[in-house]
Amino acid sequence: MYESRSHCIVWHSKVMTFQCNRCHTQINLTAGTIFHATKLPLVIWFQAMYFMTQTKNNVSALELKRLTSVCYRTAWRDKHKLAQVMIEREETTILSGRVEVDDPTWGVNTQEAKPVVVQRTRCHS
Nearer Cβ to Zn ion, position 16 or 117?
16
CB atoms near residue 22 (< 10 Å)? 9
DSSP bridge partners of 9: 18
Residue among 9, 17, 109 nearest 1 (CA): 9
Distance (Å, whole) CA 120 – CA 43: 32
CB closer to Zn ion out of 19 and 38:
19
Spatial neighbors of 102 by CB under 8 A, at least 6 apart, are 118, 120
Residues 4-43 that bind Zn ion (CB under 5 A): 20, 22-23, 25
Number of residues near Zn ion (by CB under 5 A) = 4
Minimum distance from residue 36 beta carbon to Zn ion (Å): 19
Residue nearest to Zn ion (CB): 20
Q: Minimum distance between the CB of residue 15 and Zn ion, rounded to whole angstroms?
A: 19
- Which residues sit at the interface with Zn ion, rule CB under 5 A? 20, 22-23, 25
